[in-house]
Amino acid sequence: MFLLVVLAGALTVVYLLTLWLKDWYSFWKKMDAPYEEPDLFYGNLTSVAKKMDHLGGSMQKIYEKFKGRAPFVGIYMFLKPAALLVDLELVKNVLIKDFNYFHDRGVFYNEKDDPISAHLFALQGPKWKLLRNKLSPTFTSGKMKMMFPTIVDIAKRFEATIDEVAERDADLDIKKLMARFTVEVIGVCAFGLDCNSVADENSEFYRVGLSVFSNPRHSFPVDLLMIAYRELARKIGCKRFRDEVSDFYTRVVKSTVSFRTANDVHRHDFMELLIDLYQRQDDNKITFNELLAQAFVFFIAGFETSSTTLQFCFYELAANPDIQTKARNHINEVLERHGGDLTYEAMMDMKYLDQIINETLRLYPPVMSLFRETDKDYPVPGTNFILKKGVTVLIPAFAIQRDPDVYPNPLKFDPDHFSEENMKGRTPVAFLPFGEGPRICIGARFGMMQVRVALITALRKYKYSLSPKTKSPLELSKNAFITSPVGGIWLNVESL
């Protein structure tokens, strides 16, 4: 009898829980808004949580299903209601015109238990705005021009490394090669430190930096859970990054700050600005943990997204030898016009390279979906719908940038998508690798500069072809925060 009572009680709990979940999942239905039917617990992330699809592909299916029928579609991130935008005019409103409703990304950070996670990308509200204003002077075109000779010096050492690789005639992991360059660039420009990663792939900077995304603390579905339930995750002390990563960057930043302040060392780099803000005695002063978090995100975002973009770029150049040849000829023609030297002006004159980089970012945006959070009730223009305060907004960059109505023949790698003529009349929110509006990536100009230099250095004297080790067609990882290929990208390189 006792067992029957227990069983009946358990079944009753399950039944009541199921009823509650069904009622909870009626959020969009009660609003009479278009929505995608959710699964219990997972919501509309079942394929992502079970590693059957990546987030970009999962959201692309919903985007294509509802595009043209409504400005947004209601979905659920596990139990949390979210609005997936499918109309570019609404995307423009959220990112630019009505930014005051959507100024926060709504991503997870934990300033108390995981200080390096409380960086500019994640911070919210007034704190984000204040810090953004303080850091913006670092990324002017004038500052980029000052850093350029340093990047060119690193590129010369990088070219010697490519020479060694070409002589070995071995399969090349292009991501690791490009990461060695971008780690060195960010190390020098952000920390003023020679990371030695170009010459030594076993350098600690390179190893730890690469591990942030290749060996994360949590799986991607758990990261999404922490985004969906940020306050709960903070209360129970969840951390975004592994302790080894936090300890390493804390040690490096502390020693750098101590050395520079003790020896009155000054450099024209990102760390100089952070130290100036740290030492101030007015309202612009920042704490050491704030300094640490900004140094960390500049390093991680700068090297990882750039090296990822470069690996996809060289994959497409190897797969399209005619475009590769055209790009190489363009580099050499422009350099010849500028006296044979790679100057800042010569780099900026290489318009076809920008088309190639932008086309790579279109097909393989480093972050497949942009997140925003509704700060107050938002009446959706032209409708009777209201996005309630606290609702997460997803902007499916991956889907938008592969939309045939925006980019003809979208799966074809075609730099002419970004010719001057084709870009005319196309809304800026149809291309979102750096975001858009007031929260556009603060380091976009720097990222493009180091990608251009790497592309020029690695392409002007070398030819690339696909290795049999590279999967064809390319498959994107289903369990990565940054867009990544399954099995890596392997190429053959020969010196010309």
Alpha helices in 199-269 (DSSP H): 204-214, 220-228, 230-235, 243-263
Distance separating alpha carbons of residues 199 and 183, to the nearest angstrom: 11
DSSP class of residue 281?
-
pLDDT tens-digit series, residues 131-174: 888 888 878 888 888 889 889 999 999 999 898 888 887 788 99
Q: What pLDDT sits at residue 274?
A: 87
* 53, 47 Cβ separation under 8 angstroms: yes
Report which secondary-structure segment, H or E, holds 271. helix 270-279
Range 289-312 average pLDDT: 89
Sequence-distant (≥ 6) Cβ neighbours of residue 292 within 8 angstroms:
115, 116, 249, 250, 253
**Type of residue numbered 47:** S
Q: Above 90 in pLDDT, residue 233?
A: no
Instruction: For residue 24, name the pLDDT band (cuts at 50, 70, 90).
Output: low
Q: What pLDDT sits at residue 496?
A: 87
Q: Above 60 in pLDDT, residue 242?
A: yes
pLDDT tens-digit series, residues 44-56: 888 888 888 888 9
Here the tokens at position 79 are 């139990």
Q: Above 50 in pLDDT, residue 117?
A: yes
Beta bridge partners of 373: 104, 392
Q: Above 70 in pLDDT, residue 13?
A: no
In the chain, what is the greatest distance between 2 CA atoms, to the nearest angstrom? 94
Distance separating alpha carbons of residues 395 and 103, to the nearest angstrom: 14
Query: CA-based angle 148:152:155, to the nearest 5?
Result: 140
Distance separating alpha carbons of residues 298 and 495, to the nearest angstrom: 33
Report which secondary-structure segment, H or E, holds 116. none
Here the tokens at position 311 are 């690996």
Residue ranges for the known binding site for heme are 441
Q: What pLDDT sits at residue 89?
A: 96
Cα 311 from chain centroid?
Answer: 14
Here the tokens at position 227 are 């985004």
DSSP class of residue 26?
T
Alpha helices in 67-116 (DSSP H): 88-92
What 121-128 contacts at long range (C-beta under 8 Å, 24+ apart), as own/partner pairs, is 121/297, 121/301, 125/375, 128/103, 128/104, 128/439
Residue ranges for the known binding site are 441
Distance separating alpha carbons of residues 120 and 138, to the nearest angstrom: 14
Task: Provide the phi-psi class of 282: left if phi over 0, else alpha when psi is between -120 and 50, else beta.
Answer: beta
Q: What pLDDT sits at residue 407?
A: 96
Please give the span between the terminal C-alpha atoms of the chain, in angstroms, as a whole number.
85
Range 13-22 average pLDDT: 55
Range of weakest confidence among 108-117, 148-157, 211-220, 392-401: 211-220
DSSP secondary structure letters along 303-349: HHHHHHHHHHHHHHHHH-HHHHHHHHHHHHHHHHHTTT---HHHHHT
* 117, 426 Cβ separation under 8 angstroms: no
Distance separating alpha carbons of residues 55 and 481, to the nearest angstrom: 9
Distance separating alpha carbons of residues 491 and 468, to the nearest angstrom: 8
- Arithmetic mean of pLDDT over the chain: 88
Beta bridge partners of 251: none
Range of weakest confidence among 34-38, 266-270, 388-392, 421-425: 266-270
Here the tokens at position 373 are 């959070």
Range 248-254 average pLDDT: 90
CB-based burial, 33-66: b 16+ in 10 Å, e otherwise: bbbbebeeebbbbbbbbeeebbbbbbbbebbeeb
Range 91-97 average pLDDT: 97
Residue-range domains of the chain with CATH: 27-495 (1.10.630.10)
Taking residue 166's Cβ as centre, other Cβ atoms within 10 Å add up to 18
Range 100-121 average pLDDT: 90
Range 104-119 average pLDDT: 88
Sequence-distant (≥ 6) Cβ neighbours of residue 95 within 8 angstroms:
102, 370, 372, 395, 429, 435, 436, 437, 439
Q: What pLDDT sits at residue 16?
A: 47
Distance separating alpha carbons of residues 141 and 118, to the nearest angstrom: 27
pLDDT tens-digit series, residues 170-191: 788 999 899 889 988 988 887 7
